[in-house]
Amino acid sequence: MKKLYFILLLLVSVLSAGTVLAGNPDRQGEAGANQLLINPWARSAGLHSLNTASITGSEALYLNVAGLGRIKSTELNLSHTRYMEGAGIGINALGFARRIGKGTFGVSLMSMDMGDLEFTTENTPGGTGTTFSPTFFNMGLSYAHVFSNKVSVGVTAKIVSESANSVAARAIAMDAGVQYVTGENDEFKFGISLRNVGSKMRFSGEGLSTSLPNPGPNFPYDNIYYNRSAPYELPSQLNIGASYDFLFGRMAALSLIGNFTSNAFARDQAGLGVEFRYKEFFALRTAYKYEFDSNEVERTLDNGLAAGLSFAFGAKKGSSTRFAIDYGYRSTFVYRGIHNLGIRVEF
């Protein structure tokens, strides 16, 4: 078993090096399925997804699956995101994690709702009077293992699906991650995650068909022709992060968090964040992410300021069950920001 995880760790390192070398801002916009880069979870969204090294529980299913193993027993997470407030885009996510021995299994579901869009054609560019609703859906199955409470590794296999108006595209992708914890009170943490490495996607279906007259003079009926769409890559991403906890007795802690993100199809990013925690009942966090060589035309939404907070409540005295409410906000240069609201149950 240890040899298996050593091989996994080595594989993550090799693939990570390849991803770093593959980063190229000239390829920005060439990848698809960019919903894979939208964080649906409120706690890590409040830190602008910078906590690669310290993320734990069901939220680790998105950013660094190695943190999945650092839960006590079982965790259920439900989240809703209002993406670019005012655009009418909503994201719903569910995460579930269950610890069994030193290993933890997890499942994640994410669905993106863009509302009803006007159906147009070449002959009716103003609309046909009907509407359609695109569907973006991701599902992942994960496993993480912890070695002596110092090193944890994890892997996720996920299905990516996009469909709209009788066309659909699907792909299979993999995530992998490593976390290392050290220090007298485990105050120093280091993490690496490689995300969205998988097959290409290509749209197909009846929506790509076109009815044209038969070129033959003796047959007056129309023929159906199918257009072939071009394949596109998934938005692969490498995250390297570290954090340090300043402890104030057993009551409170202040975490300083840093992260570097290498995007295979976008500009690289780096950021710093701070999180204050009072026991396990309250947390306040803020972060700033910077995008290298960005400009007003090509910059992404995934940068700038972010902030969030969490409240946790114990169900009964002596019970291990706990409820928590998380909120995260990210500023955007268009519309009115990104709002995340989540509910966690730990038992």
SS (H, E, C) 143-211: EEEEECCCEEEEEEEEEEEEEECCEEEEEEEEEEEEEEEECCCCCEEEEEEEEEEECCECCECHHHEEE
Domain segments of the chain as ranges? 2-122+130-195+234-346
- pLDDT at residue number 250: 86
Which distant-in-sequence residues (6+ apart) come within 8 Å of 276 by Cβ? 252, 253, 254, 255, 283, 284, 285
- pLDDT at residue number 319: 67
- pLDDT at residue number 214: 77
Q: Are strands 237-248 and 252-263 parallel, antiparallel or unpaired?
A: antiparallel
Task: Say how far apart CA 169 and CA 203 lie, in whole Å.
Answer: 4
- pLDDT at residue number 12: 52
pLDDT tens per residue across all 347 residues of the chain: 455 445 455 455 545 444 444 455 667 778 889 999 999 999 999 999 999 999 999 999 999 999 998 888 999 999 999 999 988 899 999 999 999 988 999 999 999 998 888 888 778 888 888 888 899 999 999 999 998 778 999 999 999 999 988 899 999 999 999 999 999 999 999 999 999 999 999 999 988 888 888 777 677 778 787 888 899 999 999 999 999 999 998 899 999 999 999 998 888 999 999 999 998 899 999 999 999 987 766 778 888 999 999 999 876 666 678 899 999 999 998 889 999 999 999 98
Facing residues of 235 across strands?
A: none
- pLDDT at residue number 7: 46
The values of phi and psi at residue 60, to 5°, are -70, -15
Q: Are strands 167-182 and 151-164 parallel, antiparallel or unpaired?
A: antiparallel
Task: Say how far apart CA 278 and CA 190 lie, in whole Å.
Answer: 22
Q: CATH number of the domain at 2-122+130-195+234-346, please?
A: 2.40.160.60
